[in-house]
């Protein structure tokens, strides 16, 4: 018997064009964990990131080198000085316009940033694989942070 894959999408913000969510896979939600730690450690930086998330959600597609840019293979990064939150676009069920946040990190070194991007790609692939698996369950949590 195949193991069930539990996907939980937690709403961060619903904009005019997109819903921005964190992506939890089998109880692990690295983006939510990153944002909670950021809010606890430095609420000013958290608010700056939340402002970027809200802004980007108001456009069908958006890219800006200082706020939200493509870093390759369908992965984007919400940016603020020294911090990155990685994400990708997708559609699921009635939710046609999603931005799924996978993980975050500081921009200490190029090596750490590349590892964070690789982690985002891996989470994206796990999610896309789960979408094609009948043993996957999907939950959309509406509570906005």
Distance CA 15, CA 117 (A): 25
In a domain, 70, yes or no: yes
In a domain, 36, yes or no: yes
Write out residues in the chain with pLDDT < 50, as ranges.
Answer: 1
In a domain, 142, yes or no: no
In a domain, 33, yes or no: yes
- Per-residue pLDDT tens over the stretch 107-126: 778 899 999 999 999 999 99
In a domain, 143, yes or no: no
Q: What pLDDT score does 2 carry? A: 60
5 sits in which H/E element: strand 5-14
Q: What pLDDT score does 1 carry? A: 47
Number of domains in the chain: 1
Question: Which residues on neighbouring strands pair with residue 70, listed in sequence order?
Answer: 76
Q: What pLDDT score does 144 carry? A: 56
């Amino acid at each position: 018997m195949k193991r069930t894959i539990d996907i939980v999408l937690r709403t961060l913000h619903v904009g005019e064009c997109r819903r921005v969510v964190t992506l939890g896979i089998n109880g692990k939600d690295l983006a939510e964990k990153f944002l909670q730690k950021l809010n606890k450690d430095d609420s000013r930086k958290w608010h700056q990131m939340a402002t970027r998330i809200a802004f980007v959600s108001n456009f069908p597609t958006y890219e800006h080198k200082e706020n939200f840019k493509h870093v390759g293979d369908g992965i984007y990064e919400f940016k603020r000085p020294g911090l990155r939150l990685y994400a990708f676009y997708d559609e699921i069920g009635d939710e046609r316009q999603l931005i799924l946040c996978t993980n975050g990190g500081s921009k200490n070194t190029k090596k750490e940033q590349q590892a964070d991007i690789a982690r985002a790609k891996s989470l994206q692939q796990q999610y896309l694989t789960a979408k094609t698996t009948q043993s996957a369950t999907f939950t959309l949590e509406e509570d906005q942070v």
